[in-house]
Structure 1
Amino acid sequence: MRERIIALDRHIEAAMLERELHAKWEQQLNGIRAELRNAESEVERLLQQWQEEKKDVERLTNRSLSNLFYTLIGTKEQKLSEEQIEELKAKERYELALSEANALEEDRAELSRKLIDVSRWDTKLKQAMQEKEELLREHDSAFASALDELQQQKVKLLHEKKELGEARAAGEHALRALRRAGESFDSAKNWSTYDMLGGGMLATHIKHSRIDEAQESVTKANHALRTFQRELKDVEQAAAGTDLVHIEGGLKFADYFLDGLIADWMVNNRIQSSLEAVNKGITRVEPILKRLNEYRIQVEGSLQEATRRYDQLILTYKM
């Protein structure tokens, strides 16, 4: 067993070295890719510039107005010489930029090949650690107990993370439903006011249409809120024994939220009271979501620490 543990430690060390090289080369590759994009743009720009300079020379050597003009004033040879020099300079700049771009492409290809060589570091590390863990569990009961304790922590935290994710998703859905309901009530209120001021049959029709939309939005919002409430209870059960503040009570308003308002909301002030209830719901859901996010960050941090300690326990075990 001792020899196998030593061999596994060497495998682990080699995999961890590959991990460091992978991170280093990946960072370098990202930088080279950015440089290469800029270099290719520069090559394209200088190529166009060189082509323009070539056209200037061609205009002086072919039958053209430029040729005729400089011939008549007696400066054709001088102008041609100047343009040829500019063309050569533009060509040199282009070829230099092209050479630099090609060199960057070679560097990119080389780093890509290197990354492929170390791309399986995570698989190698997991396999070596798994085998080492199995050997140590089999031959060291104290070590196995320490691992089991950390593993139980990880399982509990993973469960909390899952429940938090479901609660956040339900809360965000409820918040979207509330906002849609608020928009529907706001529109219904505007058309109701316009109708009361003599908006005519069209205003009455649109008002009732907006009221129907608001009714549907309220039904969906209330359902989403009750789902959110159930998910919050699951979070509290999963987080039993932690310092999580009991947040389920913040949603008690769902028990009476808009109940009985639909039948009487054609009256303008009744629509206004419904809109206020929706806004109240939004102001209660938002801080709950904020707290859930804060607790999610806390749980994820604890999970990362438990995982680190678990892996470290295996990594540092020596015979």
Structure 2
Amino acid sequence: MFEELNKNIANAKEKLTRKEELKNLLQRTNEDLNAQMAKKKEFNKILHEEQKDVEKVKSSAIAELRYSILGEKEQQEEKGRQEYLSAKLRYDECCSLIANLEKEIVSYNEELNKYVNIELEYEELMKKKERLILQSYDLKPKELIKLIEKIQDLKSNIKETKEAINAGEKVREALERVVSSLKSAKDWEQWDILGGGLIATASKQSKIGEAKGHVYEVQRLLGIFKRELSDVKLSSDMDINIAFFEKFADYFFDGLIFDWVVQSKINDSLNNVYDTSNNVKKLLSTLEGNLNDCERELRTVEEEVRGIIETQ
């Protein structure tokens, strides 16, 4: 009877934990969505201002009077165009993130609906177990209850840690795709410098655009990874620093404007991707260590429970 009841309780506890996890994920996703909506509004304003500046420079009648001024005008046009493209990239990235966050919120709400009455189910099972344990006076009820609850908590943390590791691995793989695209763009840029002509230029731009798409995906996955990390209870004095997540795309785009790219700019963006990848790998290493500690502790506690039951 105890074995079957424990299975039911473990199943209910897992659902209860998942419900709490979903509620936390939903709250953090809504917070991220609100932040991105604010950014979208800000970037949209900047975009319109940059567009006005570009048009203002183009329509300047005074700038047409002398050749020297014309040269200055061309520089101003180029500078304005790059600033406009930078703003456009950030605005597009923001729109992409908003769309994905809205999909995640719908998904979380749909799953939450499956666990409406789980608290009541769990409480009823626990009361039933408590009555059975207290009736079996030969057992050590308090010690056994404490150990079983610890097992359930450890299993929950193991599950959450594995989910965080899975999310981190997806980020790492996406970053590798960014690196691959940028390396290819770098090769085409080298050929362009050596006189590769229109083919080299077009191929370079294609790979840069490909990298941009991968960066949007990295940002989406980083958001999921960040939210999964917040549910992990770390063992010992392990620490997780995720502040770099927030600035990844900004640093990336600061190093790269997608219709005007030189070797040094590609290198800047590559270095930023490498730094982010190294940080993700460190986090994954921390999580793997945490997972090993939890699994080792789980085996120890399960042995204690087995020992108590076998001696009765």
Shift of 1:225: 1.8
Partners of 1:167 and 1:293 in 2: how far apart?
Answer: 10
Partners of 1:290 and 1:263 in 2: how far apart?
Answer: 30
The answer to whether the Cα contact below 8 Å between 1:161 and 1:300 also exists between their aligned partners in 2 is: yes
Q: Which residue of 1 aligns with 2:173?
A: 176
Partners of 2:138 and 2:311 in 1: how far apart?
Answer: 17
Residue 208 (structure 1) aligned with residue 201 (structure 2)? no
Residue 267 (structure 1) aligned with residue 267 (structure 2)? no
- State the Cα RMSD in Å: 2.2
The answer to whether the Cα contact below 8 Å between 1:137 and 1:143 also exists between their aligned partners in 2 is: no
Q: Which residue of 2 aligns with 1:313?
A: 308
Tell me the number of residue pairs that the alignment of Structure 1 and Structure 2 aligns: 179
The answer to whether the Cα contact below 8 Å between 2:168 and 2:225 also exists between their aligned partners in 1 is: yes
Q: Which residue of 2 aligns with 1:192?
A: 189
Shift of 1:136: 5.6
Shift of 1:244: 4.0
Question: Cα deviations across residues 10-30 of structure 1 (Å, max 9, x unaligned)?
Answer: xxxxxxxxxxxxxxxxxxxxx
Partners of 1:181 and 1:264 in 2: how far apart?
Answer: 15
Q: Which residue of 1 aligns with 2:244?
A: 253
CA pair 177-168 structure 1, distance change in 2 beyond 3 A: same
For 1:166, the aligned partner's letter is: E
| Unmatched runs of 5 consecutive residues or more in structure 1 | 1-132
Q: Which residue of 1 aligns with 2:295?
A: 300
Pair member with larger Rg: 1
Q: TM-score, normalised by structure 1?
A: 0.52
Shift of 1:137: 4.5
Shift of 1:162: 0.8
Q: Which residue of 2 aligns with 1:85?
A: none
The answer to whether the Cα contact below 8 Å between 2:222 and 2:245 also exists between their aligned partners in 1 is: yes
Shift of 1:222: 1.9
Q: TM-score, normalised by structure 2?
A: 0.53
The answer to whether the Cα contact below 8 Å between 1:258 and 1:277 also exists between their aligned partners in 2 is: no
| Unmatched runs of 5 consecutive residues or more in structure 2 | 1-129
Q: Which residue of 1 aligns with 2:152?
A: 155
Q: Which residue of 2 aligns with 1:60?
A: none
1:1-319 correspondence runs (5 A) = 137-140=134-137, 143-235=140-232, 238-239=233-234, 242-247=235-240, 249=241, 251-259=242-250, 260-261=253-254, 264-265=257-258, 266-268=260-262, 269-317=264-312
The answer to whether the Cα contact below 8 Å between 1:258 and 1:274 also exists between their aligned partners in 2 is: no
1:264 match: secondary structure: coil
The answer to whether the Cα contact below 8 Å between 2:161 and 2:291 also exists between their aligned partners in 1 is: yes
The answer to whether the Cα contact below 8 Å between 1:171 and 1:289 also exists between their aligned partners in 2 is: yes
2:239 match: secondary structure: coil
Question: Cα deviations across residues 178-228 of structure 1 (Å, max 9, x unaligned)?
Answer: 111111111111112222332112112211111111111111112212221
1:299 match: secondary structure: helix
